[in-house]
Structure 1
Amino acid sequence: MKLTRLLFFITGIAILTFGAGLTLKANLGAGPWDALTAGQAKVTGFTVGSWVIIDGVVLLFVNAYLLRQKPQFLAAVTFVFIGTMIDFWLLKVMKDWHPIGLAYQAGTLLVGIIMLSVGVAMYLQSSYPANPIDNLMIALHKRFGVSLMVAKTLGEMTALVFAILLKGPIGIGTLVIAFTIGPTVQWCYHPTERFMMKVSSILR
């Protein structure tokens, strides 16, 4: 089972970062957090992946403060891997690729959302420490007593405001991602769970 969880963790992050790369390359607007890191990269010259890691460190301590707990340093494994993989896709695999035309861009965005959702569903199955962005929702929920939906919205809106200020890639795609990513992850979660059980039984 441990080997299966490790495989799902690695594969899930590889897939979700590929999806994030596609949503950025579609150039129709990325999700709030991806738009934020893209905006930070444009302003500073650091890579998107570097900012994923920097923001992860900041959120590690923000979440610890909100929950009044020690920082979950094991989560660094997750966001460092995510940052490394997003740079791999954007700077190596997709470096010279730019979808041209609205239909091509829309198709790229759609595939990106699906890949993001499958990747998130897979990596969550692994039970490895969650990305601090995901933990922020839990921290806001527990600290202020708001619903998970409100907590998630607060986190996304905060990232969106900073992304706008930094002139990150905000557009119609941002709204599409905001309204579809949750249901799509939910739709992928249980089939992914069943698939993990089958893989686990094979690897025993």
Structure 2
Amino acid sequence: MLLRAVFLSVTATSRRDLVERVVQLIGGLFLYGVALGFMVRGGIGVAPWDVLALGLAGQSGLGYGFITVLVSIVVLLLWIPLRQRVGLGTVLNALLVGPSADLALFLIPAPPSVWIGAPMFVFGLLLLAFATGLYIAADFGPGPRDGLMTGLVRRTGWAVWLVRTLIEGSVLLIGFLLGGPVGVGTVLFAFGVGPLIGWFLPRITRMREARSRQVASVRPA
């Protein structure tokens, strides 16, 4: 029933447009996981949700990617009382980011020094912003964490910045208490990810919309 609701929510100008957007979605989510791998390997701190995931992974002995999937599923369960609508992108986000992050961590060696680790983190942050633009512009629904934020904003009437700060602040504190890595990278992420996504997203969205119009204008002979 859930999957049926997910696929019924998908709209596209043509079958080709749908296929291209699904490829963009999956590519964006894969690159998002790769970006997380670079940021974790950087060794200078990670984003609040990854502080939580790494803290839980350290306490439980389970893999980082597996914990990332579990956290996403728990967050999706919190959508139920908020009556948030699940999209295809929501489900794939929950299932694909963790495994792709684990694959990246398997392939990317730990840097020998912070002078290599710090640029790795910055590259990961840039790649994450680009990947976020890709999967959001594909327009298949928000990720689990973004949907939690928008659902709480709608239910409480509070400002977006306040809800986001409360969520990420709580996640960061819990992750830190569990032993997750907090460092300068955490600060860089907090102040850098918004402007970077703000730069990538409108450009990718315009390209996606132009491509969708182009595909829609092509008629089979």
TM-score (norm 2): 0.83
Which ranges of 4 or more aligned residues in structure 1 deviate by more than 6 Å?
A: none
Render the CA deviation track for 1:88-127: whole Å, top value 9, x for unaligned.
2113x22xx0112232122111101100000001000111
The percentage of aligned residue pairs carrying the same residue is 25
Amino acid at match of 1:89: A
| Equivalent-residue separation in structure 2 for 1:197 and 1:71 (angstroms) | 23
Which residue does the alignment assign to 1:196?
Answer: 208
Amino acid at match of 1:156: E
Which residue does the alignment assign to 2:113?
Answer: 101
| Equivalent-residue separation in structure 1 for 2:215 and 2:140 (angstroms) | 21
The structure whose Rg is larger is 2
Which residue does the alignment assign to 2:11?
Answer: none
SS in 1 for 2:196: helix
What is the deviation of 1:202?
Answer: 6.3
| Equivalent-residue separation in structure 1 for 2:72 and 2:143 (angstroms) | 7
| Equivalent-residue separation in structure 2 for 1:6 and 1:51 (angstroms) | 25
Unpaired segments ≥5 residues, structure 1: none
| Equivalent-residue separation in structure 2 for 1:186 and 1:153 (angstroms) | 18
Unpaired segments ≥5 residues, structure 2: 1-16
| Equivalent-residue separation in structure 2 for 1:202 and 1:70 (angstroms) | 31
Query: What is the aligned-residue RMSD (CA, Å)?
Result: 1.9
Task: Tell me, yes or no, if structure 1 residue 4 matches structure 2 residue 20.
Answer: yes
Amino acid at match of 1:90: L
State which of 45, 70, 81 in structure 1 corresponds to 2:96.
Answer: 81
| Equivalent-residue separation in structure 1 for 2:84 and 2:165 (angstroms) | 25
Amino acid at match of 1:44: S
| Equivalent-residue separation in structure 2 for 1:199 and 1:70 (angstroms) | 29
